[in-house]
């Protein structure tokens, strides 16, 4: 009985989430029609070829790769620190158990490799969403969108990647995380754009109402 109730609650939450996204999508589309093409969101069309236009596309790609390099450096330092700490801890543990120096060294190296592998896995799950979020931000700006559009799309991508990736990992492990993070990245970015268009539509209506009152 509790399992059936839990499944029912999950299904209701899922249906409510899908319904909310559909309503938001319809509202965003109406708002885009209301404010016109010039004021609506402009991103979502960036391709790899834009990286070679020797203009803002190349700049966006350059910034993206710079961010990736910076984050990868942080990740490498984190992994190396985890490996070093694990080796030191293993050496102390081996010495307390009276192991020979050769056996202690092998044991420490083995523990260091395990710690480095675990740290790399955790770091990838942190850096991936950050890079995806930054890329969506610069893509929005490249296509003439405002910084607000870029911020909302990037934020949606970040939370979508983390949230759906986490759910996927709970269900299907590593494969679920990979699929969930990719799907969540796309869904989150689109929701961010919808929020931007709805906010634009509300702002337009408020301005229009103010003009009517003034006249």
In the 3-class helix/strand/coil scheme, how is 191-214 assigned residue by residue?
HHHHHHHHHHHHHHHHHHHHHHHH
Query: Count of domains in the chain?
Result: 2
- Does this model's pTM top 0.85? no
Residue 84, pLDDT score:
84
| Residue that finishes a domain, picked among 128, 159, 186 | 128
- Whether residue 153 is found in the same domain as residue 112: no
Between residues 88 and 39, the one the model is more confident about: 88
Token pair belonging to 49: 């070829």
- Whether residue 56 is found in the same domain as residue 116: yes
Residue 88, CA atoms < 13 Å, CB-side half-sphere = 6
Residue 70, pLDDT score:
67
| Residue that finishes a domain, picked among 83, 98, 128 | 128
Token pair belonging to 146: 């405002």
- Whether residue 124 is found in the same domain as residue 163: no
Give the DSSP letter of residue 24: H
Residue 5, pLDDT score:
60
Express each pLDDT in 180-190 by its tens digit: 877 888 888 88
- Whether residue 95 is found in the same domain as residue 120: yes
User: Backbone dihedral region of 145: left (phi > 0), alpha (psi from -120 to 50 degrees) or beta?
Assistant: beta
Residue 149, pLDDT score:
87
CA distance 27 to 11: 24
Indicate the average pLDDT of the chain.
78
Which range of residues forms the domain containing residue 78? Answer: 51-128
- Whether residue 61 is found in the same domain as residue 105: yes
138: pLDDT confidence band, cut at 50, 70 and 90?
confident
């Amino acid at each position: 009985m509790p399992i059936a109730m839990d499944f029912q609650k999950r299904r209701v939450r899922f249906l409510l989430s899908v319904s909310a996204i559909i309503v938001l999508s319809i509202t965003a589309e109406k708002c885009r029609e209301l404010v016109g093409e010039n004021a609506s969101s402009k991103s979502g069309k960036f391709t790899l070829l834009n990286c070679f236009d020797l203009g803002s596309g190349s700049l966006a790609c350059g910034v993206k790769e710079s961010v990736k390099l910076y984050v990868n450096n942080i990740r490498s330092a984190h992994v190396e620190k985890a490996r070093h700490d694990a080796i030191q801890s293993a050496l102390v543990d081996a010495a307390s158990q009276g192991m020979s120096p050769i056996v202690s060294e092998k044991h420490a190296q083995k523990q260091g490799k395990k710690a480095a592998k675990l740290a790399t896995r955790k770091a990838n799950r942190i850096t991936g969403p950050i890079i995806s979020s930054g890329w969506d931000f610069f893509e929005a700006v490249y296509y003439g969108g405002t910084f607000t559009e870029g911020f909302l799309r990037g934020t949606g991508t970040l939370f979508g990647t983390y949230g759906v990736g986490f759910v996927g990992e709970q269900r299907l492990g590593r494969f679920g995380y990979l699929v969930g993070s990719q799907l969540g990245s796309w869904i989150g970015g689109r929701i961010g754009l919808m929020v931007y268009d709805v906010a634009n539509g509300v702002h337009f209506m408020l301005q229009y109402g103010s003009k009517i009152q003034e006249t």
